[in-house]
Amino acid sequence: MCQAIPRLVLQVADRRAEVLYEGTPMWVAAHGIPDLAVGEYLVVYAGQALERLPKDEAEEMLRFFDDLERMVGEAAG
C-alpha cells in the first residue's frame, strides 16, 4: 500500500527531487513545486511530489508514524 508520507529532500535536479525513502535515496517527480531546496520536506505519493510541507509539521507526522509502527509491533508481540 502506498502512503502519502513526508520525505526529506536530498537533491534537486531538473524538476525531480531525490528524497529519503525509508533510509534509501529515491528520485521522484517534483513538477509544480517551485524553488524546491535541499532540506525541505515533500509529501510524496506513488513517485510524485504532491506538496511542500513545513519542517515542524513533517517531523511531527514522521514521529507519529514511528510511534504507531512501534505500538503495532509491541501489540503483535
- Residue 1: its pLDDT value, please? 46
In this prediction the pTM is 0.85
DSSP string, 16-65: EEEEEETTEEEEEE-TT-TT--TT-EEEEETTEEEEEE-HHHHHHHHHHH
Q: 6, 8, 33: which is closest to 19 by C-alpha?
A: 8
Task: List pLDDT tens digits, range 27-49.
Answer: 999 998 999 999 999 999 889 99
Taken in order of first residue, the domains within the chain and their CATH numbers are 5-76 (2.30.30.140)
Of 1-5, 55-59, 73-77, the one with minimum mean pLDDT is 1-5
pLDDT at 2: 60
